[in-house]
Amino acid sequence: MSNFFSSIFFFILCISQGSAQIVFENDELKIEQISKHAYRHISFLDTKEYGKVASNGVLYLNNNEALVYDTPVNDHAASYLIGWIEKHQKSKIKAVVVTHFHEDCLGGLEEFHKNGIPSYSTTLTKELAQKNNYSVPQNIFTKSLEIHIGGITTATEFLGAGHTLDNAVGFIPSEKVFFGGCLVKAAGSGKGNLADADVGEWAETVKRIKLRFPDVKVVVPGHGSPGGPELLDYTIELFRNP
């Protein structure tokens, strides 16, 4: 491992440990609090190539309203997340935002629809979900989406291709929490699944993210532990020479 990767891995490991509190856990779903009003939800996707893969999403709660970024990997895990939000947090889920068309982002989408929760994605994500016979988000946007949760604005944007052609990202300015999904890599991780990737554009897209969201403090990748903005630098370096 190069000096760059060694130093960045050590730094992120230090800042990511001890800052998250587990507030719910069973065999299918774990929820960790990562800031005053933001949480990481983790569910587990069974894959042929990688085995059981822990997959991240983000939850934002404010004034009895909630926003979910990416569903848990299946409807059963999604039911636990919805139940925890509605019953234990006494909050209404205003929206679920799907950041790209893979199963680890929308595998539990039907459970949200069954509970009357509106879903959102880019136009391209909806098209790719349809093409691959996945559940389809109900509402679409092209480049950007603002959703107000308890009077606070959240931002979802598509800034370019990387892990997939359609990967969007989310930012909660009041928490300074950024959800990069599978576009952003955890410290020490490899390039992962490149089946639908644009590796030539990946680093440039993450550079645009850094310019667009300079105030990020907590970065949640699609898989692995959260860190700081150093995860963006790590991802850029990983794909600098595809």
Active site members: 100, 102, 104, 163, 182, 185, 193, 223
C-alpha angle 199-162-226 in degrees, rounded to nearest 5: 115
Alpha-carbon distance values, 208 to 124, 157, 175, 221 (Å): 19, 11, 20, 16
8 Å CB contact between 177 and 229: no
Query: Can you tell me whether residue 74 is helix, strand or coil?
Result: coil
Strand partners, 95: 67
8 Å CB contact between 53 and 104: yes
